[in-house]
Amino acid sequence: MNYFELEKKSNKSNARAGKLKLKHGTTLTPVFMPVGTTGTIKACTWQQIKDIGFNLVLGNTYHLYLRPGSEIINHFNGLHNFINWDRNILTDSGGFQVFSLSDFRKITDDGVIFSSIVDGSKHFFSPETVIDFQLTLGSDIMMPLDECTPIPIEYSIAQKAMNRTLIWLKRAKKRWEESNKDKDHLLFGIVQGNRFEDLRKYSAQMTSELDLPGYSIGGLSVGEDKDTMFSMIEIVNSILPEEKPRYLMGVGKPEDLLEGVARGIDMFDCIFPTRAGRNGSFFTKNGMKSIKNLSYKFSEEPLDKDCDCYACKNFTKSYIRHLFRAKEITAMTLISIHNLAFLKKLMDNIRSSILNDNFEEFKNDFLSNYRQSKEEIF
Ligand SMILES: [Zn+2]
């Protein structure tokens, strides 16, 4: 079955518009997915996420496995039920968190033993157990266990991790197919290879050969320079099959979304908009601003005059600044809603511009405004 319909491809860049047909509804691409780490998008309610218009969100396997854990998720017959979200959920494999959060980890060809960030207890992830847990969650899109390496790192270490990721992917695929739930819960492959061109090429070729419903690009946006990230995306996307969706993991700044789309990416996720929101930073078409800024003391304007989100329709910057200074939780909610709505609208506009053959113009206009103002110092 074809889960992805490629509707339009730009003539001037590799930008694409498509439809991702999932169990809980069709998602239009390119798409940004908000991150609901432990079963909630921080500081927001699910109704607020629905009102913004999202119908695909991300959950973190590592966090959900540790807490609430499979017993509770099983009791409620899956994550959708437990959190009362009837739209699509993509879950990552937990690999990235095992490698970035755990104090202790030991990797073998079998899998990885790691200590819990919650209570220090020891746990084991294998390609098979990670698929089993994501099936328990009932994820609409699942990710296989992969080995992430930091950038920069020695070639031989990156090569070993890339090869292990491929072996693990084959095991994950086998488990997924044997589950007989493969039609409702799609498995993507993850391309690794750090910053090495030949490793990325090899990984993209070998991963593509497994003929999965979609492909992710992992191990980028981990502190490398932008040119490295973009050239790795170009290399990988020149190999990945055109008719399958491509997901760039962990990227969510407006300028990177535009550059990613221009290089043929269809899906993105990042904690950045909500984390920045909780710190008082908000998106505008002229760049990011801080609500702490003294110049907003008497401001009767919304966060962004062009935005029709709940925060912008109802409240002034003066009021939100006051809430933030008073450490009221509502300030974080309002700015998070705005930041997510800003990215949702950006992706909708990107999609329309691709369909109308003027994506490159839209991108240049957006970036020239967005970069016009420097980030405010506060
Ligand atoms: Zn807004």
Query: Is position 198 annotated as part of the catalytic site?
Result: no
pLDDT at 165: 98
Ligand 1 mean position, distance from CA 63 (Å): 29
Segment 195-203 mean pLDDT: 98
Strand partners for 18: 6, 29
Please indicate, yes or no, if residue 180 is contained in any of the structural domains. yes
Spatial contact of 350 and 257, defined as CB atoms under 8 Å apart: yes
pLDDT (mean) for 71-77: 98
Instruction: State whether 96 and 237 are in the same domain.
Output: yes
CA 107/CA 99 separation, integer angstroms: 10
Among the candidates 270, 288, 304, a domain finishes at 270
Q: For residue 2, what pLDDT band results from cuts at 50, 70 and 90?
A: confident
Query: Cα dihedral angle (150, 151, 156, 160), rounded to 10 degrees?
Result: 40
Report the alpha-carbon distance of residue 338 to residue 255 in Å, rounded: 17
Final residue of a domain: which of 270, 295, 325? 270
The pTM score is 0.97
How far does residue 292's CA lie from ligand 1's centre (Å)? 17
- What CATH number has the domain bearing residue 234? 3.20.20.105
Give the CA angle between residues 113, 114, 120 to the nearest 5°: 140
Mean pLDDT to the nearest integer, 49-70: 97
Give the residue among 150, 167, 177 at the shortest CA–CA distance from 206.
167
* Ligand 1 mean position, distance from CA 285 (Å): 11
- At residue 155, the pLDDT reads 98
Q: Which of 92, 140, 256, 304 is catalytic?
A: 92
Q: What is the Å distance from ligand 1's center to 130 Cα?
A: 37
Whole-number Å distance, alpha carbon 347 to ligand 1 midpoint, is 15
At 377 the pLDDT is 39
13-25: pLDDT as tens digits: 999 999 999 999 9
CA 258 / ligand 1 centre spacing (Å)? 20
105 and 61 in a common domain: yes
102/18 same-domain check: yes
Contact 4/214 with Cβ under 8 angstroms? Answer: yes
pLDDT band at 99 (very low <50, low <70, confident <90, very high): confident
Stretch 185-214: mean pLDDT: 98
Q: What percent of the chain lies above the pLDDT cut of 70?
A: 98
Same domain, 309 and 252: no
Residue 376: inside a domain: no
CA dist., res. 182 & res. 189, Å (int): 14
DSSP for 139-165 reads: -SEE--------SS--HHHHHHHHHHH
Q: Is residue 375 part of a domain?
A: no
- For residue 230, how many other CB atoms are within 10 A of its CB? 16
Q: Which position among 146, 256, 266, 269 bears the catalytic label?
A: 269
10 lies in the same domain as 130: yes
pLDDT tens for 118-142 read 999 999 999 999 999 999 999 999 9
297, pLDDT greater than 50: yes
Sorting pLDDT into bands at 50, 70 and 90, what band is 375?
A: low
For ligand 1, the distance from its centroid to the CA atom of residue 360, given in whole angstroms, is: 25
Per-residue pLDDT of 17-51, as tens digits, reads 999 999 999 999 999 999 999 999 999 999 999 99
Q: Can you give the residue range of the structural domain that contains 335?
A: 279-370
Residue in the structure block whose two tokens are 């994950």:
172
What per-residue confidence (pLDDT) applies to 374? 57
**269 noted as active-site residue:** yes
Cα 167 to ligand 1 centre (Å): 45
- Of 270, 302, 320, the last residue of a domain is 270
* Look-up of token digits 């008719």: 243
Please state, rounded to an integer, the average pLDDT across all residues of the chain. 96
In 111-139, which positions are buried (b, 16+ CB within 10 angstroms) versus exposed (e)? bbbbbbeeeeeebebbbbbbbebbbbbbb
For every residue of 265-276, DSSP letters joined together read --EEE-SHHHHH
Nearest-angstrom CA–CA distance, 245 and 214: 5
Q: How far apart are CA 58 and CA 274, in angstroms?
A: 13
**Where is pLDDT greater, at 96 or 372?**
96
Within a domain: 377: no
300 within some domain = yes
Is there a single domain that holds both residue 50 and residue 105?
yes
- pLDDT score for 373: 59
How many angstroms separate the Cα of 286 from the Cα of each of 251, 268, 270, 274, 276?
A: 20, 22, 21, 19, 16
What's the total number of domains in the chain? 2
How far does residue 369's CA lie from ligand 1's centre (Å)? Answer: 18
Average pLDDT of span 328-352: 98
- Strands across the sheet with 267-269, in order? 31-33, 267-269, 246-248, 214-217, 186-191, 141-142, 88-91, 56-59, 35-36
Q: In terms of domains, do 173 and 229 share one?
A: yes
Residues 316 and 249 in one domain: no
**The pair of three-digit structure tokens given for residue 118, joined into one six-digit string:** 């919650």
User: Are 228 and 300 part of one and the same domain?
Assistant: no
Residue located via tokens 């998070």: 336
36 within some domain: yes
Bond into 152 cis (ω within 30): yes
Q: How would residue 378 be classed by pLDDT, with cut points 50, 70 and 90?
A: very low
Pairing of strands 25-29, 16-22: antiparallel
84 Cβ contact partners less than 8 Å away, ≥ 6 residues apart: 46
227 domain-assigned: yes
Question: Which residues have their alpha-adjacent CB atom under 5 A from ion ligand 1?
Answer: 307, 309, 311-312, 338
184 and 320 both lie in a single domain: no
Q: Residue 239 Cα, ligand 1 centroid: separation in angstroms? A: 38
Same domain? 263 vs 316: no
Asked, for residue 378, whether it belongs to a domain, the answer is no
User: Does pLDDT of 224 surpass 90?
Assistant: yes
Do you know the residue count of the chain? 378
- Report how far residue 18's alpha carbon sits from residue 212's, in angstroms, rounded to the nearest whole number: 17
pLDDT surpasses 60 at 212? yes
**Are residues 71 and 9 part of one domain?**
yes
Segments of the chain assigned E as strands: 4-9, 16-22, 25-29, 31-33, 35-36, 56-59, 88-91, 105-107, 112-115, 122-125, 141-142, 186-191, 214-217, 246-248, 267-269, 281-284, 287-290
Query: How would you classify the pairing of strands 246-248 and 56-59?
Result: unpaired
Query: Which of 94-103, 184-193, 195-204, 330-339 comes out lowest in average pLDDT?
Result: 94-103
